[in-house]
Structure 1
Amino acid sequence: MLSFSGNLKVYLATEPCDMRKSFNGLSAVVSQKLQESPTSGAAYLFTNKKRTLLKILYWDGSGLWVMAKRLEKGTFSWPKHTSTKDGKICLEPTALAMLTDGIDLRDGCRRAWYEKP
C-alpha cells in the first residue's frame, strides 16, 4: 500500500495515456493537457485504454518519481473522460490508496479482481 501525507493533492487524468511515456512525457501531459505544474508537489495518476496499468508522477521536492502498477487480471475503477471538462479530477490521498488497493470509488466495494493475500 502506498502512503502519502494527508495534505497531498492528487489529480487523476480522465483520458487514457500512452503508457510508454515516462518522466518527460508524463510531465508534458501534466503541463499541456492538465494545465498543472509537474513540480507542484502533487501526484498525477494516469492509466491506459484498457485500465490495466496505472502510473503515478510525483515530485518530492528534489526530483520526480514515476511509479507503476500493472494488474494481472481485471481493471482499475476509472472515471469516464466525459465526466469533466478539463481532463482531470482532484482526489483525496485516501482515494488514491483505495484506488490502488482495488476499491471502486463509486460504491466503496472491492473490485472483482481483488483477492486478499
Structure 2
Amino acid sequence: MIGLPPTLRVFVATAPVDLRKSYDGLARVAREALGQDPTSGHLLVFSNRRRDRIKILYWDRDGYAIWMKRLEAGTFRWPAPTADGVEWTPAELAAMLGGIDLKATRRRPRFALAPT
C-alpha cells in the first residue's frame, strides 16, 4: 500500500459508482455527490455496486491520478449509503484495503480540535 500521511483527508462516496468512469467522470461525482473539490489533494474513494472494486482519485500537483483495486474473491465492507459520503482517516482506508471490517472495530477516544 502507498504510505499516507495521517493529515491527509479521505472522502468516501457511499453510493455505488459506475467504475467505467475515468478522471473527469469521477471528478464530476466528487463535486456533485460528495461536495468536494477534486483538485484539493484529498483522496476520493469510489466503489462499484458489487463492492469488489474501488477507485481512488486524487490530484497530484499537475493532474489527476487514479489508483484501482479489484478483489479476486470477497468484497470490501462499505459504509451505509448517505447523501454526502463519509470521511475516513488514512488508517481506516488502509485497514479497509487490507480486509478489515471497520464496523467490527472500535475507535478509542482521542483528542480532536473543534471544527472551525
Tell me what 2:21 maps to: 21
AA at the equivalent of 1:90: E
Deviation at 1:41, TM superposition (A): 0.8
Asked if residue 100 in structure 1 is aligned to residue 97 in structure 2, the reply is yes
SS at match of 2:103: coil
Looking at structure 2, the residues matched to 21 and 28 of structure 1 have their Cα atoms a distance apart, in angstroms, of 10
Looking at structure 1, the residues matched to 47 and 95 of structure 2 have their Cα atoms a distance apart, in angstroms, of 15
Looking at structure 2, the residues matched to 22 and 102 of structure 1 have their Cα atoms a distance apart, in angstroms, of 25
SS at match of 2:87: strand
Deviation at 1:34, TM superposition (A): 1.0
Tell me what 2:38 maps to: 38
AA at the equivalent of 2:87: C
AA at the equivalent of 1:8: L
Tell me what 1:73 maps to: 73
CA deviations 1:70-109 (Å, max 9, x no partner) are 000100010121xx332x100001011111111111113x
CA deviations 1:3-34 (Å, max 9, x no partner) are 21111000010000001001010000001111
| Number of equivalenced pairs | 105
The runs of at least 4 consecutive aligned structure 1 residues that moved more than 6 Å come to none
AA at the equivalent of 2:102: L
Looking at structure 2, the residues matched to 25 and 85 of structure 1 have their Cα atoms a distance apart, in angstroms, of 18
Deviation at 1:48, TM superposition (A): 0.5
Give the alignment's TM-score, normalised by structure 2.
0.86
SS at match of 2:34: coil
Tell me what 1:48 maps to: 48
